Structure 1
Amino acid sequence: MPVVVTDIKRADAEAAASLAEFGVATVHEAQGRIGLMHQRLRPIYKGAAISGTAVTCTLPPGDNWMIHVAAEQCQPGDILVAATIAEAHSGYFGDLLGTVLQARGVRGLIIDAGCRDIADLEKLGFPVWSRSVCAHGTVKETLGDVNVPVSCGDAIVNPGDVIVADDDGVVVVPRGTEAAVRAAAQARIDKEEANRARYVAGELGLDIYNMRERLKAKGLTYITQADWENGA
């Protein structure tokens, strides 16, 4: 029986919102390289960087009815995650639905299907990460679920998890781990900034990361051009 779960537990709002500043790549690395959605999900325009708590829904092929249903369950700071029950590329979402979600304080949409009206959505400032861009419309006939666990972009998303999305893609942070991931991401940023200063000063990664002995142990050999030409 199709269901709508109305009282989901959400990740800590402050921690969820703060993860956007670190970016998808850093968050993905900070939590042990897990949670990354498939690279087929791409932003419809460049430059958007968001994070927030997931509201989920499932969509039958060519039918966007449940996006309308899910909109009612969205709160400020949420990100809607829409997963199709079979591969689909129709334009499930456009500028009117973008207006609906934006009015409810939703930060963006992640949809493993098609999106349309992308120029209007960019003007609206409502970011979407989608599987494809397609003008083909949808109907409103078949039920799905709202706020149940879904597989979107080959990653499992539970309602209330944290979603981080930017030009690099989309990553899922399980609810309850957001504070630890934020701390790990900050530590990673601090380390990278220290190393960046060393790069600017002229040091090489070979020395900063102590790579030379490992390369030698793997069998990497340095020879002169003359020796190379002589078959050494």
Structure 2
Amino acid sequence: MIEEPKSLRIGPDVGRRPSVEQVAAFQGVPTGFVVDAMFGVGAMCVDISPLDTSNVQVAGPALTAENRPSDILATLGCLRYLKAGDVLIGSAQGWQGCAAAGDRVAGMAKNAGAVAFVTDGPMRDYDGILEVGLPCWCTGLNPGSPFGTGPGQVGTRVMVGGQPVETGDMIVADRDGVVVVPFAKIDDVAARLGAIQDMELELDAEVRKGLVLPDPIAALLDSDKTEVM
């Protein structure tokens, strides 16, 4: 016989956060730069996109909620543990049958200090969410209401958009999508961002000047590594 589960469980790392300096290193950085600094990994799947397509960029520590499909109790439980600057991650285990949150949840999360909400489910109350002003990334819209009965977990490891997310990981999100930087790799990734930005700006300048074919590609085409059929 299975023991009756607790309605909510709070993980031991619910208070883990990167330093102010670590968070600052990712402010204003495009998600593409962050993925490049992690050698091509860390991006959530393309199903998760900004609800409002205006030009928005956020970066902050994750606080995770693991919900059962069609339930949001863990997301609501996170409201007590949110810290200013957090990105609330509301896992719906990919459930698309109802909304993973709406304008009231978004409003309460913003009141608690969240700078964004990310979920692998849809959302509802589009106009209300825009009025609240909390940037949200989700899989689309669904008018169905979720339950709030649990069980669920706050501050534990979740899978969202194909990426593992733990509380304290750095989340960077913009119009291109959402990227997860594991807590243990924050410093290493931040240290590479400057070089990535320099390379990108240099290539941008060359394209504006009329660049058609990058030198490495030209060299490859002219080498014995290319065969003309």
Regarding TM over 0.5, the answer is: yes
Q: Which residue of 2 aligns with 1:225?
A: none
Measure the CA separation in 2 of the matches of 1:220 and 1:86: 45
The unaligned stretches of length 5 or more in structure 1 are 222-231
The unaligned stretches of length 5 or more in structure 2 are none
Q: Is the 8 A contact 2:94 2:121 kept in 1?
A: no
1:126 maps onto 2:134 in alignment: yes
Measure the CA separation in 2 of the matches of 1:39 and 1:51: 18
State the shift of 1:128 in Å: 0.9
1:150 maps onto 2:158 in alignment: yes
Q: Is the 8 A contact 2:73 2:150 kept in 1?
A: yes
Q: Which residue of 2 aligns with 1:58?
A: 66
Q: Which runs of 4+ in 1 moved over 4 A?
A: none
Give the 5 Å matches for 1:1-232: 1=5, 2-5=8-11, 7-46=14-53, 47-85=55-93, 87-207=95-215, 210-216=216-222, 217-219=224-226
TM superposition score normalised by structure 1: 0.87
Read off the aligned partner of 1:116 and give its amino acid letter. R
Read off the aligned partner of 2:135 and give its amino acid letter. P
Find the residue that maps to 1:3 and give its secondary structure: strand
TM superposition score normalised by structure 2: 0.88
Measure the CA separation in 1 of the matches of 2:31 and 2:69: 29
List per-residue Cα deviations over 1:102-137 (Å, max 9, x = no partner): 111101111111201122212221111112210111
Q: Which residue of 2 aligns with 1:224?
A: none
List per-residue Cα deviations over 1:156-193 (Å, max 9, x = no partner): 00111001111101110011322321221221111221
Measure the CA separation in 2 of the matches of 1:118 and 1:148: 28
Identity %: 24
Read off the aligned partner of 1:212 and give its amino acid letter. A
Counting matched residue pairs gives: 220
Find the residue that maps to 2:26 and give its secondary structure: helix
List per-residue Cα deviations over 1:21-47 (Å, max 9, x = no partner): 111111011111111111110110112
Find the residue that maps to 2:198 and give its secondary structure: helix
List per-residue Cα deviations over 1:73-126 (Å, max 9, x = no partner): 110011011112463341121111111111111011111112011222122211
Greater Rg by CA? 1
Q: Is the 8 A contact 1:12 1:178 kept in 2?
A: no
Alpha-carbon distance change, 20 to 203 in structure 1, aligned in 2, over 3 angstroms: same
Alpha-carbon distance change, 205 to 184 in structure 1, aligned in 2, over 3 angstroms: farther
Q: Is the 8 A contact 1:89 1:133 kept in 2?
A: no
Q: Is the 8 A contact 1:36 1:171 kept in 2?
A: yes
Alpha-carbon distance change, 89 to 110 in structure 1, aligned in 2, over 3 angstroms: farther
